């Protein structure tokens, strides 16, 4: 039964000519699927509608080849084939009584890598296409181009109606073309589209009007716009347009806050800016804030901050979040941890994935449902060795499938690397990966958990399980072999080198000046540096990359991480490969010139490569008496060290595919082809 405190979240909301059945609104967000994978996209969005989201939007959707994002799998509404592709998605959403929305997109200073046409801009400016930006500039818009933009919006809006969308967006934020008109630092036009605020919002006003005319009252017209207290003029622009659309989708000017990692940004970070704008309009307002707590959601509705709960990442982590709240199962909500692995993989041009929800992107390809797992008779007794993210997920899935599961963990605390890493600065929310799975296991009568139970091969055979899953993880090496080295470093007499595991396990930390050699390039190097600074040590972070934590650019946290390091007085040394360690110093070479230099360091912490803890797995395979086991499988970091998301996925895939016969899990997937 639903908690009455949350009744307000399930009230219908009128959006112009259509009505959302509740206040849960999946805002437009990228998927890494786009026009390339229409069936994958339809199943992905349809799952959210099944899970109770009142509105489910697709991603940014190009209106014409003059606005392509060819390096990424974006959506498009260029022609009739696109209409058919989007209809798959709208049908899947409508099947569950939800509204479907589309965000029409004019790219602006985004290089047209596919069409090779010059990108259009308010003025000629450098490409802003992130890591893929070539050294090209936009073509300055002429009056005729502005007329074309209006026409392209109208054509795309009419196609949106044909495709079955209920909400059509005017997209005026996130640095794309319309943002250039609104930005006084960029817009230097001397005509009616430049100069005053009234002139600079003109094109947005005209696009709202033309979208309404094109959709002929069949769709709500939404506008996505920036309102930001640090940009007072943004509220002037908003007030001019306040009553024109049927719905406002509001954000702020700093994308690293809007899309902020939980390491640096908490829940509800936009509420003060959104609340100020909400007081200037009578139209409904939706905004994101990585809302995971129903108490926070209900509060921002009651206090008038916004009218709908916008979500991207929480809707990925748990597509059934609304339904679980409605059914009084709040404890079953799989909360987003804010790691931004979803965003990273879209940025890499592949379907998004999720650390918490391993079924993300697999709804069509593998036929996986996040809440329903096929049971199988005859699985019998399964021993899972290791209670880290892979082992916990494997045990959970096997328990749901009806197996008699024994989970043996060598340490007292479950969670493996998640438990250890979540104690580092900013990573506390990552404990949700462990906590949700531990809570789910506790509700399964057919799962037994045995902490402080290290297992030898003889122990495994004594248990008399029919299947064994080895999830014993990996350990950090100290020889500095990694991406930039294939041979160990030289360690002279008197050199002090510690392992990352020693620090994560709470081992004694030497005093003095520590050098972290980060050839991992993700979150752990900066997080360890901040932790050691917190303990009072002098820290140098040395990396072969051009910036600290370079891969975290894909998760939109690199700048925040580097800023935190600088503010904490961590010395950052880039573009250097560690070569050797001696007493009191380390030697490194420049990645470009090979020139060697030394840096003072009392001890060194290499963060480079993990060695798999697979000895037990191979011993079991080698022992003749193990022949009575139907299967011996390994998962997670024990098989291939990687992201926590990879470990969870590995545990899920193997456990979901296990068969009573012991045959290896099938890895066949349906291959997606674009329509046309």
Note the pLDDT of residue 298: 98
Using CA atoms, how far apart are residues 334 and 320, in angstroms rounded to an integer? Answer: 9
Using CA atoms, how far apart are residues 168 and 157, in angstroms rounded to an integer? Answer: 7
Q: Model confidence over 523-536: pLDDT tens digits?
A: 999 999 999 999 99
The answer, yes or no, to whether residue 609 has pLDDT greater than 80, is yes
Q: Which has the minimum average pLDDT: 113-127, 548-562, 629-643?
A: 113-127
The answer, yes or no, to whether residue 562 has pLDDT greater than 80, is yes
pTM value?
0.96
Q: Quick one: angle between helices 38-50 and 80-94, nearest 10? A: 20
Note the pLDDT of residue 664: 64
The answer, yes or no, to whether residue 3 has pLDDT greater than 80, is yes
Name the active-site residue from 60, 171, 176, 517: 176
DSSP symbols for 568-595: TT-EEE-SEEEEEEETTEEEEEETTT--
Q: Name the residue among 424, 427, 449, 428 with its Cα closest to residue 439.
A: 449
Using CA atoms, how far apart are residues 563 and 583, in angstroms rounded to an integer? Answer: 31
Task: From residue 633, give the alpha-carbon distance in Å to each of 388, 593, 614.
Answer: 16, 45, 11
Token digits for 246? 């049927």
The answer, yes or no, to whether residue 16 has pLDDT greater than 80, is yes
Residue 171 annotated as catalytic: no
Note the pLDDT of residue 222: 98
The answer, yes or no, to whether residue 231 has pLDDT greater than 70, is yes
Using CA atoms, how far apart are residues 484 and 550, in angstroms rounded to an integer? Answer: 14
The answer, yes or no, to whether residue 670 has pLDDT greater than 70, is yes
The answer, yes or no, to whether residue 218 has pLDDT greater than 90, is yes
Q: Which comes out higher in pLDDT, residue 469 or 131?
A: 469
User: Using an 8 Å Cβ cutoff, are 617 and 455 in contact?
Assistant: no
Rounded to an integer, the average pLDDT of 622-649 is 93
Q: Model confidence over 381-436: pLDDT tens digits?
A: 999 999 999 999 999 999 999 999 999 999 999 999 999 999 999 999 999 999 99
Residue 124 sits at φ, ψ, to 5 deg, of: -75, 115
Residues 6+ apart with CB under 8 A from 260: 269, 290, 338, 556, 557, 560
Residues of the chain with pLDDT > 90: what percent? 88
**How does residue 476 score in pLDDT terms, banded at 50, 70 and 90?**
very high
Q: If DSSP states are collapsed to H, E and C, what string results for 309-328?
A: EEECHHHHHCCCHHHHHHCC
Q: Model confidence over 62-74: pLDDT tens digits?
A: 999 888 887 788 8
Note the pLDDT of residue 317: 98
**How does residue 626 score in pLDDT terms, banded at 50, 70 and 90?**
confident
The answer, yes or no, to whether residue 131 has pLDDT greater than 90, is no
590-602: burial string, b at 16+ Cβ within 10 Å, e else: eeeeeeeeebebb
Q: Name the residue among 256, 262, 652 with its Cα closest to residue 432.
A: 262
Q: Model confidence over 273-287: pLDDT tens digits?
A: 999 999 999 999 999
The answer, yes or no, to whether residue 233 has pLDDT greater than 90, is yes
Per-residue DSSP letter, 126: B
CB neighbours (10 Å) of residue 9?
A: 20
DSSP symbols for 155-175: HHHHHHHHHT-SEEEEE--TT
Note the pLDDT of residue 226: 97
Q: Model confidence over 100-126: pLDDT tens digits?
A: 999 999 988 876 778 888 888 999 988
State the chain's mean pLDDT as an integer.
95
Note the pLDDT of residue 220: 98
Q: Which comes out higher in pLDDT, residue 667 or 622?
A: 622
What domains are defined for the chain? 4-347 (3.20.20.70), 381-473+613-657 (3.40.50.720), 479-611 (3.50.50.60)
Note the pLDDT of residue 119: 86
Q: Which comes out higher in pLDDT, residue 65 or 270?
A: 270
Note the pLDDT of residue 665: 65
Measured torsion, CA atoms of residues 142, 145, 146, 148, in degrees rounded to the nearest 10: 160
Note the pLDDT of residue 310: 98
């Amino acid at each position: 039964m639903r908690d009455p405190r949350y009744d307000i979240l399930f009230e219908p909301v009128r959006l112009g000519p259509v009505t959302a059945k509740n206040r849960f609104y999946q805002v437009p967000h990228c998927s890494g699927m786009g026009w390339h994978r229409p069936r994958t996209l339809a199943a992905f969005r349809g799952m959210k509608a099944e899970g109770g989201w009142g509105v489910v939007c697709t991603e940014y959707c190009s209106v014409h080849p003059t606005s392509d994002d060819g390096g990424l799998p974006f959506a498009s509404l260029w022609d009739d084939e696109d209409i058919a592709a989007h209809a798959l998605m709208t049908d899947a959403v409508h099947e569950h009584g939800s509204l479907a929305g589309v965000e029409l997109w004019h790219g602006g200073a985004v290089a047209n890598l596919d069409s090779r046409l010059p990108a259009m801009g308010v003025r000629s400016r450098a490409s802003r296409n992130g890591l893929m930006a070539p050294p090209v500039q936009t073509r300055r818009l002429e009056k005729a181009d502005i007329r074309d933009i209006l026409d392209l919006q109208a054509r795309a809006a009419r196609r949106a109606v044909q495709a079955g969308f209920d909400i059509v967006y005017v997209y005026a934020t996130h640095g794309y073309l319309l943002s250039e008109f609104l930005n006084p630092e960029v817009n230097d036009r001397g005509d009616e589209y430049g100069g005053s605020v009234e002139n600079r919002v003109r094109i947005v006003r005209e696009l709202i009007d033309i979208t309404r005319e094109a959709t002929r009252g069949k769709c709500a017209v939404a506008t996505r716009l920036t309102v930001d207290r640090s940009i007072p003029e943004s509220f002037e622009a908003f007030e001019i347009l306040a009553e024109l659309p049927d719905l406002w989708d509001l954000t702020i000017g700093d994308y690293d806050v809007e899309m902020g990692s939980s390491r640096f940004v908490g829940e509800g970070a936009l509420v003060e800016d959104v609340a100020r704008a909400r007081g200037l309009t009578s139209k409904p307002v939706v905004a994101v804030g990585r809302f995971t707590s129903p108490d926070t959601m209900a509060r921002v509705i009651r206090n008038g901050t916004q009218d709908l709960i916008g979500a991207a990442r929480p809707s990925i982590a748990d597509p059934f979040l609304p339904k679980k709240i409605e059914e009084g199962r709040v404890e079953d909500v799989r909360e987003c941890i804010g790691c931004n692995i979803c965003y990273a993989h879209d940025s890499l041009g592949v379907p998004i994935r999720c650390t918490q929800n391993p079924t993300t992107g697999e709804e069509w390809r593998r036929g996986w449902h996040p809440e329903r797992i096929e049971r199988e008779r005859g699985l019998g007794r399964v021993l899972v060795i290791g209670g880290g993210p892979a082992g916990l997920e494997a045990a959970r899935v096997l328990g749901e499938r009806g197996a008699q599961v024994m989970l043996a963990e060598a340490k007292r605390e479950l969670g493996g690397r998640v438990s250890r890493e979540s104690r580092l600065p900013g990573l506390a929310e990552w404990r949700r990966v462990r906590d949700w799975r531990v809570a789910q296991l506790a509700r399964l009568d057919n799962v037994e958990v045995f902490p402080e139970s290290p297992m030898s091969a003889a122990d495994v055979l004594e248990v008399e399980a029919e299947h064994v899953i080895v999830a014993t993880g990996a350990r950090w090496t100290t020889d500095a072999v990694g991406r930039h080295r294939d041979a160990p470093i030289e360690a002279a007499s008197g050199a002090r080198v510690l392992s990352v595991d020693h620090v994560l396990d709470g081992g004694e930390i030497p005093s003095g000046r520590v050098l972290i050699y980060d050839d991992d390039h993700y979150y752990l190097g900066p997080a360890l540096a901040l932790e050691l600074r917190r303990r009072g040590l002098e820290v140098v972070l040395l990396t072969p990359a051009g910036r600290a934590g370079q891969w975290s650019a894909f998760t939109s946290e690199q700048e925040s991480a580097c800023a935190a390091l600088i503010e904490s007085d961590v010395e950052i040394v880039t573009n250097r490969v560690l070569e050797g360690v001696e007493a009191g110093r380390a030697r490194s070479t420049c990645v470009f010139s090979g020139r060697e230099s030394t840096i003072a360091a009392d001890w060194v912490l290499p963060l480079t490569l993990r060695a798999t803890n697979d000895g037990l797995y191979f011993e079991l395979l080698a022992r003749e008496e193990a022949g009575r086991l139907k299967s011996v499988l390994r998962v997670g970091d024990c098989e291939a060290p990687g992201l926590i998301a990879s470990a969870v996925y590995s545990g899920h895939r193997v456990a979901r595919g296990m068969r009573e016969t012991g045959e290896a899990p099938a890895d066949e997937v349906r291959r997606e082809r674009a329509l046309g």
